């Protein structure tokens, strides 16, 4: 007699068993092939996990369990991305120290994850805020500094007045702070900047070989924004000055009817302009707009620089010069030649200011650049990475400023530079980090000359630790190197990386750091993540994003308590294609719940036979094959539905061979590891290996095909899937139920072998 399925007891039992036997510990020393499966590690927020977060973790869990069953040595680790603004803002709001908040939140996350039965190797857990970890984040920064890739700059940067810190372009959503939604301003602050642009070309080139979704690659290409063109020089009449422009269309040079300088262009201040007051007030007004607003404005604005004429180097024609904010200072040379006949923005501007639109014959770009003494050049939209944050909760930048020796690296044997305790870690808003107030920490001696010097007080951005953490999992306890060379060679690269965010940003930064580490010999592969799978989010039942704000958050623990971990796991995979965004649906969870109960009932009733049940053979083999293929290609939903089809057949037969049951439980194991393990134990079978597909049984001897007569289903015939059209028609005629509808010879036959026969009479 079948017993009740007590998932609470059984799931706990297996979770304890796995923990006690360190079942998922990855070995560094293995003759097996390796698979490294990685989730984008979470930032441990105060809100805890909602049911959307584990979707990717379930997928990697299934993938990694199945690779382990295929005989691979699998690394599937988990850790915490815990530095940065969100953690600090949470701590400020709740009036606790960020470190205490992070610890508390991590404990909560781990508790939530534990209930779901994941196969993480917790012995490799990392936390970016652990000094033993960030020592190496600082070490990488120092290597970049030594190679001239970390430099100081005073260029105006994005400043969030609400978060009171400078930000990188990647931290913006258009022109607002990605974190808090406040419009950013431009502010000049001394900054550390990383020369990511040095890697722009390699980051573009190496995208091609990656097994990543095409739209993510495209997003990266657009973010890098490589543009090939020429720099051409226009002299200014009666002046020693000239204007250099960047153009992708030198062939349109004869059509240039005016020029534009960006408001920030130094020439605007230097030139002898007749309408100085008007120009200056335009420049001031343009400062209030963001670059996005400037670029997108349909109604173009600008002011002519009266008394100034530029000379077109191709035909020596004098053309007017404007200051206009649709030209940006941060791109190209900050000045353009305007060709209204060929450029839409220039056309809009020309219409408004009554400037000539000249149709021309295009020149030969090669030739014309040479003729006017221009140079070919390449521009990137990608900007160097503004790396300083004026906030407390980040890795201290390991630099000492000496009045004599300038910026000096902290000696490597003094790493990590520990983040000091501070009485108040609120952002100062002055453009200095809270660390600047701790004089005993700031004042130090210069490692070069021994004289009095000061520590750098800015911290690193929240993206620093995540730019290399995947390497640390390969060797998390190493005190001598960020990763041991031998271990890195064995584990690298990450074979499958799974997440649902950071198409640019993290994935750009990590690729940049990785390539740098490759250049200094610290890693052996040119790319960190060979394959990337991007997931679609889970929305609340109401179709909105799950958020505390809307009160529609579902806690995975509640679902596990109500339905069990296996049901939760199967349901999240069954919701739809992995990459689709889908809404939570309680009715559908109950459906999956019934599937699990039925599996239990079959497994605990008297159905097992010593020999195989022939009627199940073909479907079983097809299912083993499909589930394996589907896991490999991240099509988890169709894998689950195929197992449901197989279960129906097993129930219909009311019996199954022990060997067949073993195969079924084996393919179920990665999805529903608790119930599969329990039922395998009940049956006394081993399900640790992925079953081989018996290809000889994949094709059924006969299939049942529907037969339509004049568009209406009139019956079915059973014959070999490879049968010819003639054989199929003959079989239909032989079936009395169908034959009575066949009043004459069919005038048209549509036959899809193995699927359907359609007769028109």
- Residue ranges in contact with ligand ANZ by CB under 6 A: 227, 246-249, 252, 262, 327-328, 331-332, 334, 336-337, 339, 342-343, 379
Nearest to 357 by CA among 372, 365, 366, 346: 346
Per-residue exposure over 33-52, b if at least 16 CB sit within 10 Å of its own CB, e if not: ebbbbbbbbbbbbbebbbbb
CA 90 remoteness from chain centre: 24
We find the least distance from the C-beta atom of residue 282 to ligand ANZ, in angstroms, to be: 16
Per-residue exposure over 256-292, b if at least 16 CB sit within 10 Å of its own CB, e if not: bbbbbbbbbbebbeebebeeeeebbebbeebeeebbe
Instruction: Determine the Cα–Cα distance for residues 23 and 33; give it in Å rounded to an integer.
Output: 18
CB closer to ligand ANZ out of 169 and 618: 169
CB closer to ligand ANZ out of 256 and 616: 256
Q: Check residue 25 and report its DSSP letter.
A: P
We find the least distance from the C-beta atom of residue 256 to ligand ANZ, in angstroms, to be: 7
User: DSSP string spanning 501-550?
Assistant: S-TTTHHHHHHHHHHHHHHTTS-S-S-SBSBEEEPPPEEPTTSSPP-GGG
Neighbour count for residue 355 (Cβ, 10 Å): 19
CB closer to ligand ANZ out of 327 and 523: 327
We find the least distance from the C-beta atom of residue 345 to ligand ANZ, in angstroms, to be: 7
We find the least distance from the C-beta atom of residue 245 to ligand ANZ, in angstroms, to be: 7
In this structure, the chain runs to a length of 761
CB closer to ligand ANZ out of 46 and 374: 374
Nearest to 746 by CA among 755, 717, 738: 738
Instruction: Determine the Cα–Cα distance for residues 602 and 589; give it in Å rounded to an integer.
Output: 20
We find the least distance from the C-beta atom of residue 241 to ligand ANZ, in angstroms, to be: 18
We find the least distance from the C-beta atom of residue 338 to ligand ANZ, in angstroms, to be: 7
CB closer to ligand ANZ out of 53 and 342: 342
| Cα angle value 344/348/350 (rounded, 5°) | 110
Q: Check residue 334 and report its DSSP letter.
A: S
- C-beta of residue 639 within 8 angstroms of C-beta of residue 626: yes
- C-beta of residue 731 within 8 angstroms of C-beta of residue 758: no
CA 454 remoteness from chain centre: 38
Nearest to 55 by CA among 755, 512, 556: 556
Neighbour count for residue 728 (Cβ, 10 Å): 23
Instruction: Determine the Cα–Cα distance for residues 331 and 328; give it in Å rounded to an integer.
Output: 6
CB closer to ligand ANZ out of 207 and 327: 327
CA distances from 739 to 221, 588, 702, 725, 760 (A): 62, 42, 21, 16, 13
CB closer to ligand ANZ out of 350 and 482: 350
Instruction: Determine the Cα–Cα distance for residues 263 and 276; give it in Å rounded to an integer.
Output: 13
Which helix or strand (DSSP H or E) is residue 193 part of? Answer: strand 191-194
We find the least distance from the C-beta atom of residue 633 to ligand ANZ, in angstroms, to be: 36
CB closer to ligand ANZ out of 39 and 363: 363
CB closer to ligand ANZ out of 179 and 265: 265
CB closer to ligand ANZ out of 24 and 331: 331
We find the least distance from the C-beta atom of residue 220 to ligand ANZ, in angstroms, to be: 16
Residue with tokens 């258009």: 174
CB closer to ligand ANZ out of 246 and 470: 246
CB closer to ligand ANZ out of 273 and 337: 337
We find the least distance from the C-beta atom of residue 303 to ligand ANZ, in angstroms, to be: 17
We find the least distance from the C-beta atom of residue 278 to ligand ANZ, in angstroms, to be: 22
We find the least distance from the C-beta atom of residue 249 to ligand ANZ, in angstroms, to be: 4
CB closer to ligand ANZ out of 104 and 379: 379
We find the least distance from the C-beta atom of residue 379 to ligand ANZ, in angstroms, to be: 6
CA 541 remoteness from chain centre: 25
We find the least distance from the C-beta atom of residue 246 to ligand ANZ, in angstroms, to be: 5
CB closer to ligand ANZ out of 299 and 745: 299
CB closer to ligand ANZ out of 113 and 337: 337
CB closer to ligand ANZ out of 344 and 440: 344
- C-beta of residue 18 within 8 angstroms of C-beta of residue 65: no
Residues 6+ apart with CB under 8 A from 376: 228, 229, 230, 369
We find the least distance from the C-beta atom of residue 530 to ligand ANZ, in angstroms, to be: 31
We find the least distance from the C-beta atom of residue 172 to ligand ANZ, in angstroms, to be: 18
Q: Which phi and psi (to 5°) does residue 560 adopt?
A: -65, -40
Token pair, residue 742, equals 């066949």
CB closer to ligand ANZ out of 227 and 681: 227
Residues 6+ apart with CB under 8 A from 672: 566, 567, 569, 570, 596, 599
We find the least distance from the C-beta atom of residue 165 to ligand ANZ, in angstroms, to be: 27
- C-beta of residue 190 within 8 angstroms of C-beta of residue 457: no
CB closer to ligand ANZ out of 191 and 252: 252
- C-beta of residue 602 within 8 angstroms of C-beta of residue 558: no
CA distances from 483 to 82, 106, 430, 471 (A): 21, 24, 38, 7
- C-beta of residue 704 within 8 angstroms of C-beta of residue 718: yes
We find the least distance from the C-beta atom of residue 262 to ligand ANZ, in angstroms, to be: 6
Instruction: Determine the Cα–Cα distance for residues 700 and 697; give it in Å rounded to an integer.
Output: 7
Instruction: Please give the radius of gyration of the chain, using alpha carbons only, rounded to the nearest integer.
Output: 33
């Amino acid at each position: 007699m079948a017993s009740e399925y007590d998932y609470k007891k059984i799931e706990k039992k297996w979770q304890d068993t796995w923990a006690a036997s360190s079942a998922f510990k990855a070995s560094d020393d293995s003759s097996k092939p390796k698979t490294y499966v990685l989730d984008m590690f979470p930032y441990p927020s105060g809100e805890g996990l909602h049911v959307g977060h584990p979707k990717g973790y379930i997928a990697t869990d299934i993938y990694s369990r199945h690779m382990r069953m295929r005989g691979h040595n699998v690394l599937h680790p988990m850790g915490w991305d815990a530095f940065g603004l969100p953690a600090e803002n949470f701590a400020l709001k709740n009036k606790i120290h960020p470190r205490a908040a992070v610890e508390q939140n991590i404990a909560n996350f781990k508790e939530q994850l534990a209930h779901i039965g994941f196969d993480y190797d917790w012995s490799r857990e990392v936390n970016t805020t652990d000094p033993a970890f960030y020592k190496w984040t600082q070490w990488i920064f120092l290597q970049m500094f030594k190679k001239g890739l970390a430099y100081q700059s005073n260029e105006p940067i994005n400043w969030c007045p609400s978060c009171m810190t400078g930000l990188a372009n990647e931290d913006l959503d258009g022109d607002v702070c990605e974190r808090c939604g406040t419009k950013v301003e431009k502010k000049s602050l001394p900054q550390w900047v990383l020369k990511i642009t040095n890697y722009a070309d390699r980051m573009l080139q190496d995208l091609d070989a990656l097994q990543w979704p095409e739209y993510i690659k495209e997003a990266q290409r657009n973010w890098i924004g490589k543009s090939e063109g020429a720099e051409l020089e226009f002299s200014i009449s009666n002046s020693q000055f000239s204007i250099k422009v960047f153009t992708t269309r030198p062939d349109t040079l004869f059509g240039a009817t005016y020029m534009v300088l960006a408001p920030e262009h130094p020439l605007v201040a230097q030139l002898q302009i007749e309408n100085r007051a008007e120009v200056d007030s335009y420049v001031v007004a343009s400062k209030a707009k963001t670059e996005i607003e400037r670029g997108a404005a349909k109604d173009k604005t600008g002011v002519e620089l009266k008394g100034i004429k530029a000379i077109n180097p191709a035909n020596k024609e004098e053309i007017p010069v404007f200051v206009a904010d649709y030209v940006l200072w941060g791109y190209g040379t900050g000045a353009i030649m305007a060709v209204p006949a060929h450029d839409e923005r220039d056309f809009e501007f020309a219409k408004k200011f009554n400037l000539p639109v000249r149709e021309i014959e295009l020149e030969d770009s090669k030739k014309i650049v040479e003729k006017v003494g221009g140079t070919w050049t390449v521009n990137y939209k990608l900007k160097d990475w503004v790396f300083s944050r004026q906030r407390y909760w980040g890795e201290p930048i390991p630099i000492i400023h000496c009045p004599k020796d300038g910026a000096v690296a902290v000696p490597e044997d003094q790493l990590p530079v520990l983040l000091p305790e501070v009485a108040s870690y609120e952002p100062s808003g002055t453009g200095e980090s809270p660390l600047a107030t701790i004089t005993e920490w700031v004042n130090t001696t210069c490692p070069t000359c021994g004289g009095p010097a000061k520590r750098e007080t800015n911290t690193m951005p929240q993206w620093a630790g995540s730019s290399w953490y995947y390497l640390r999992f390969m060797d998390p306890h190493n005190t001598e190197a960020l990763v041991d060379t031998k271990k890195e060679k064995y584990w690298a690269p990450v074979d499958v990386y799974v997440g649902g965010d950071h198409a640019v940003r993290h994935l750009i930064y990590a690729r940049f750091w990785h390539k740098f580490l490759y250049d200094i010999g610290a890693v052996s592969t040119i790319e960190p993540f060979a394959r990337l799978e991007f997931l679609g989010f889970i929305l609340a039942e109401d179709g909105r994003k799950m958020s505390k704000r809307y009160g529609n958050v579902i806690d995975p623990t509640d679902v596990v308590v109500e339905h069990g971990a296996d049901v939760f796991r199967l349901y999240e995979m069954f919701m739809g294609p992995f990459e689709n965004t889908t809404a939570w649906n309680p009715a559908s969870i109950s459906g999956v719940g019934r599937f699990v109960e039925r599996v239990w009932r079959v497994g605990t009733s008297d159905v097992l036979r010593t020999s195989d049940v022939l009627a199940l053979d073909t479907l079983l083999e097809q299912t083993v094959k499909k589930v394996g293929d589907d896991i490999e290609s991240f099509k988890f939903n169709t894998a689950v539905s195929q197992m449901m089809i197989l279960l129906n057949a097993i129930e219909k037969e009311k019996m199954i061979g022990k060997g067949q049951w073993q195969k079924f439980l084996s393919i179920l194991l990665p999805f529903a590891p608790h119930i599969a393990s329990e039922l395998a134990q009940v049956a006394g079978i081993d399900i640790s290996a992925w079953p081989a597909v018996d290809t000889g049984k994949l094709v059924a001897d006969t299939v049942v095909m529907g037969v339509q007569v004049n568009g209406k289903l009139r019956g079915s015939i059973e014959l070999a899937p490879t049968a010819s059209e003639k054989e199929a028609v003959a079989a239909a005629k032989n079936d009395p139920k169908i034959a009575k509808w066949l009043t004459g010879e069919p005038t048209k036959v549509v036959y899809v072998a193995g699927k359907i026969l359609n007769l028109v009479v």
